[in-house]
Structure 1
Amino acid sequence: MSTKTLKAKCLCKNVSVTAPEVKAHVDSCHCSMCRKWSGGPFLAIDCGTQVNFQGSQYISTYNSSDWAERGFCNNCGTHLFYKLKETKQYIMPAGLFDNLEDAEFTTQIFVEEKPSYYDFANQTKMMTGEEVFAAFNDEA
């Protein structure tokens, strides 16, 4: 799968992000933690492991599970990343980036936790949490 470089800034512009390994597809997580964190389904993009930040003094992290941490700007609150601890892979909010017009919405995960009050019209791959963890363990 091809990758591209994307750049972004938080709302207050104290944190700048350069992500040179972005996979041009958007995924959605419906787990209760992501929904609580983002206020709805977490629309995310895989930015790989080589993400560069400027203004790191404005980045705070929250150790949200045994396998991941979440980062945000401690000045304006912009959500910056969900980072897998073992692989150092950054999953970042799609809305952080302005130039994703060509990205395709491909996968929804933790579909068994999705509340009944919304559905996406897009035809995507649908994975339960169990399937996500099984796929992650197969890649490790």
Structure 2
Amino acid sequence: MCGAVRFAARDVPGKCGVCHCEMCRRWTGSALIGVTVPTGSVTFSGDGLRVIQSSGWAERGFCGECGSGIYFRVTREGEWFGNTELPIGIFDDANGFEITNEIYIDHKPDSFSYEGMQGRRLLTRAECVEKFSALEGGGPED
């Protein structure tokens, strides 16, 4: 928002996903609509980037100047490790992304509705947490 953090990303797919977990909703003020890119394909510049370990298995990057959310990244080995989730709102041009999946669908407020739900992969909280084998014994802090 303020320009203290800039990024460049390569290998950005045209597909994005939505997370309805309580933590993402609190972080964004809505659902997180993000695009997953390989971590090595993203570079950040500027001196505003700050990082917080937001749970036992993930971190979030944000601007230390204005507070804008910059990324979400799983920090534990597993299926989703090695990628960075960039909110589509931080792209200069957020056009052309297609929502292909939604997670924590059982936590989605009834006021949230997206067009074109046919063919989209939907995961409940339990199904999503099951994907994180490192979380045995507890789920993400929401």
TM-score by length of 1: 0.82
Give the deviation of 1:135 after TM superposition: 4.0
Q: Please list every run of 5 or more consecutive structure 2 residues that lacks an aligned counterpart in the other structure.
A: 134-142
SS at match of 2:56: coil
Partner of 1:116: 110
Pick the aligned partner of 1:34 from 24, 29, 41. Answer: 24
Deviation at 1:128, TM superposition (A): 1.0
Give the aligned CA root-mean-square deviation in angstroms.
Answer: 1.6
Cα distance, 1:98 vs. partner? 2.5
Between structures 1 and 2, the one with greater strand share: 1
The answer for unaligned runs of 5 or more in structure 1 is 1-10
Identity %: 31
1:130 corresponds to which residue?
A: 126
C-alpha separation in 2, matches of 1:118 and 1:132: 19
Offset at residue 95 of structure 1 (A)? 0.7
Q: Distance in 2 between matches of 1:31 and 1:40?
A: 10
Task: Name the TM-score, length of structure 2 as normaliser.
Answer: 0.81
Is the 8 Å Cα contact of residues 69 and 82 (structure 1) preserved in structure 2?
yes
The count of aligned residue pairs is 126
Secondary structure of 2:12's counterpart equals strand
Please give the alpha-carbon distance, in whole angstroms, between the structure 2 residues aligned to 1:136 and 1:101.
31
What's 1:95 paired with?
Answer: 89
